[in-house]
Amino acid sequence: MKKIIFTLLLIAATTIVQAQEIKKIKLVTLEKLVNPQDDITYVVNFWATWCRPCVKELPYFERLQAKYSHQKVKVILVAVEDSEQKVKLFVQKKKIKAQVLLLDETKSDVWIPKVNKSWDGAIPVTLFINGKAGKREFHKGDLTEAELNKKVESILKQIK
């Protein structure tokens, strides 16, 4: 009986350690995120758990992050919804490994234009940025996996 309890505790501890931390961010952090100065190519996707097209494309971002894990490419998924708990559970259930941030801002009329002045607030949207190279592309709507890969490959070719 002790062995069973010990094994269950060990499994529970491992699960807790492996659970991804969801960091809440404010406008100041968001502005730095969408205006990087380094030579990393950032793929920043704005999404929500209730957005079907957003959820559909999340595996594409996961595979993109894995594909470019040894290059200067970083995928960041910014959740734009109210419930931190809902996002945490969703990320755990879907086993998302890319960095997930939860935007903790309520005044969308203030933060949306900071991401892109032409953005009307509809999601999903994805921002492709390489600050050092001065590259910045804003994509409204969902992406196919092929489109996502093509955009990143195009930016990487331009900055070489």
Q: Where do the domains of the chain lie?
A: 20-159
Q: Which fold has domain 20-159?
A: Glutaredoxin (3.40.30)
**pTM for this one?**
0.85
Written as tens digits, the pLDDT of the chain (160 aa) is 555 544 444 455 444 445 678 999 999 999 998 999 999 999 999 999 999 999 999 999 999 999 999 999 999 999 999 899 999 999 999 999 999 999 999 899 999 999 999 999 999 999 999 988 899 999 999 999 999 999 999 999 988 7
**Exposure string for 128-141, b = 16+ CB within 10 A, e = fewer:** bbbbeeeebebbee
